Every structure is written in C-alpha cells, then in structure tokens.
Amino acid sequence: MGKAAAMTSEGTPSHSLQIRGRTVPRLGLGTWQLTGDECVDAVADALDIGYRHIDTARAYGNEREVGAGVKRSSVAREDVFLTTKIWMDDFEPQRLRRAAEDSLRELDTDYVDLLLLHWPNPGVPLQDSLSALSELRERGLTREIGVSNFPPKLLREAVALAAVFCDQVEYHPYLGQDDLLQIAGEADVMITAYAPLAHGKIFGDPTLSVIAERHNTGVGQVALAWLLAQPHVCVVPKAASHRNRVANFQAVDLKLTPEDRQAIDALPKDRREFDPAWAPDWND
C-alpha cells in the first residue's frame, strides 16, 4: 500500500502524537450519534478509562452533553484534548465566529483544543473561513484549527492559506488515504481517522479475523492498531458501551507484525461509507 503502510518506530503504536510541538492523544472517543444521558455517560466513562481525546461537532447536537461528561469526570479540563467542528452553513466569517462562541457555551469551556471546518463549502472562499478560524485561535478560543473531509487538492490549498493542524477524514482498512498521508508528512499535519471500523463492516473479515486470533484479541482492535501505528494518524472510534470503549482503548498497546500490516495493506482500499450529496470530489 506504500505510504499508508508507514509506521512509527518499529511499527509500535504510541499513546500520543507530536504535531508541531503539540501533544495529541492518539486514541479518542468519537461521539457521533451519542445523545442525551448516554453521551454524558460515555464521555465521563471514557475519560475514567484513560481516554484524553474527545471529538464532537455542532452537527452532532451533543456539545452540551459532551461538556457535561467532561465536567462529570475526574479529569481536569486542561488534560483533555477536545475537538469540535463548525457546520458548512456557518463558514462565512461572522457566522463562523458566532457559531464557535456558541459551541464554547454549549461545551461549557473557555476554549477547544481543535476547531475544524466540518466539510468543504465551495460557496464561501476558503481563505475567508480559514482567516476567521485563525482569528479565533489568536483570541485563545481554540488552540489549533483545521478541516474535515478535505481531499488532497483542498488540503494542500488550506495548508498554503493557514496553519492547518488537522484533516479529519474517513479512514479504515477498507479505505486508503495515501495522498493525504503524504501531505501530512510534508506539512506536519495530523490525519484524524473517523469511522475507523468502517461502520462495523470489518467484523467477520477473514484477514482481520486471522490476525485477531493470532494475537488473542478482537478484530476492532486489529483495525485500530493498524491505524494507530501510522505516522501523523490519530483515531476517534465511537463506542456506545463501556465494554467497547475499553476494548478500543486497549488497541493502543497492540503491536502488529510486519506480516500482519502487509496483509491489511493488501485489502481493497476503495470502500467508502460516507459520501453525502455535499461531499467534494474525493479524487481531486
């Protein structure tokens, strides 16, 4: 698979990632489709397990619950890497600033660690949106800024316009992201993998099942370990149960062999789970 097969030292996953001098926990909790008390409980439980990275978005409708979960846990806010995203209807600078301020109120925090543009919006100049994000960073409302669902051409454009820290994209054993990983290496950008278990499609996969059996672990842990050992990559799987949150967290310590990684690299890499009508041209 080439570039995507590159690993950290000796292919060993590490618990944190260094991007432009900032430390980011490699494994986070994704909160898409988690709402109400279930979301509050999930966030608090994840932090108690040992997670230190939580991902949400305005479009998820759960920022208030995510903030409550952080407050409920015994972990100090400054020890949590918290990400949210601005929906594309709010990319015009004034709307973006208001949306970001509203997110902070919902999350009940003075700042987020990472603020992303959720999807590309060709109707608003990218320079304008990124300038507004940069202003929010200068004001201390976010530590870092970035994008989500940006294909390679758009990511290169964004990196040229602003200090983009991250591109959050769908990434799993059935979907490759070689070109984005190359840009990440060149520009020191983090690639955050969402839907890392391909919406459950990986379970039952013969190749992953054999590897899981060899390591006496689960298929999900194998998929996450494959991603976690790649340079510039962090992962934010959703887990609605305590059991799955624990299992996902254990993936950080799973070391796959070169043969394991080669077998996963060889799986077809063209199966996309998210392709809404507003999606960009993924091959651009």
Could you give the residue numbers annotated as active site? 60
Cβ proximity of 153 and 179 under 8 Å: no
Q: Count other C-beta atoms under 10 Å from residue 107's C-beta.
A: 23
Provide the 3-class DSSP secondary structure of residue 132.
helix
Q: Which residue from 227, 220, 215, 193 is spatially nearest to 204, judged by alpha carbons? A: 220
Site of tokens 């059996």: 213
Residues ≥6 apart with Cβ < 8 Å to 149: 118, 119, 120, 168, 169, 170, 274, 279, 280
Q: What's the rounded Cα separation, in Å, for the pair 263 and 224?
A: 15
